[in-house]
């Protein structure tokens, strides 16, 4: 089972729609004060494999090549939109390799 960390901006109820993934939130980990690079580093150290975020600027603000954690970028942080994309989100979280980056588009 893949260990997944939800960024601060990802709605917590989305996890109910992603069975088969071990999902924690940054807040649940006690990382609510950490941002971007520090959060990615903490997640890697804790053994998370995938970081799911709705922050569209993350890839421009951080050098993701220095991290082994994979990043899945969501097109929105609105649950009603994300629920329609759960198949793509789940597939991305399962198949993405270490250090990978996948952007989920709105169809």
Cα distance between residue 41 and residue 37, in whole Å: 6
The 10s digit of each residue's pLDDT in 38-96 is 999 999 999 999 999 998 877 766 666 777 899 999 999 999 999 999 999 999 999 99
Q: Which domain holds residue 99?
A: 2-103
Q: Residues 53, 72: contact at Cβ < 8 Å? A: yes
Q: How many domains does the chain have?
A: 1
* Cβ count within 10 A of residue 6: 24
Cα distance between residue 71 and residue 93, in whole Å: 8
Give the CATH number for residue 11. Answer: 3.40.50
pTM: 0.94
């Amino acid at each position: 089972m893949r260990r997944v960390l939800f960024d601060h901006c990802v709605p917590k109820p989305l996890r109910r729609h992603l069975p088969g993934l071990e999902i924690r939130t940054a807040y649940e980990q006690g990382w609510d004060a950490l941002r971007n690079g520090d959060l990615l580093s903490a997640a890697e150290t804790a053994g998370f494999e995938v970081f799911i975020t709705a922050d569209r600027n993350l890839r421009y603000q951080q050098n993701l090549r220095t991290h082994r954690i994979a990043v899945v970028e969501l097109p929105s942080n609105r649950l009603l939109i994300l629920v329609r994309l759960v198949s793509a989100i789940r597939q991305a979280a399962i198949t993405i390799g270490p250090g990978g980056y996948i952007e989920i588009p709105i169809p």
